[in-house]
Amino acid sequence: MGGGNAQKSKMAREKNLEKAKNAAKGSQLETNKKAMTIQVIFFFFALFCCLLLTFNSFKMQCKVCMQTFICTTSEVKCREHAEAKHPKSDVYACFPHLKK
Ligand SMILES: [Zn+2]
């Protein structure tokens, strides 16, 4: 019967199509996984950069003697440093960030 053969080959074709679909799905999943990994890496990299930037912005440095101060150093301490170490210099010359 020709019809039976056609039916068989149709089924075979559908099976192959299914296989190809599944393979595509698998590779798609693989691609998604890779993309996700890259995203995660990128996310942590961005986070790290952010932290670094934040840390650097908190780190104060006297522009006159290049002494660094930890982020908890208050404005008062900066002024004290400027007055004690650089009485001839303006406090803003030491710590430009104090100028608002
Ligand atoms: Zn200084």
| Co-location of 68 and 44 in the same domain | no
| Co-location of 10 and 47 in the same domain | yes
What total number of domains does the chain contain? 2
Q: What's the gap in Å between 42 CA and the centre of ligand 1?
A: 38
Inform me whether the pLDDT recorded for 1 exceeds 60: no
pLDDT tens, 24-81?
888 888 888 889 999 999 999 999 988 887 766 667 788 899 888 775 667 888 889 9
Q: Which domain holds residue 89?
A: 59-100
The predicted model scores a pTM of: 0.41
| Co-location of 71 and 34 in the same domain | no
* The pLDDT value given to residue 2: 54
| Co-location of 4 and 53 in the same domain | yes
- Which H or E run contains 60? strand 60-61
| Co-location of 63 and 53 in the same domain | no
| Co-location of 47 and 78 in the same domain | no
Q: What's the gap in Å between 14 CA and the centre of ligand 1?
A: 79
Alpha helices (H) along the chain: 2-58, 75-85, 91-94
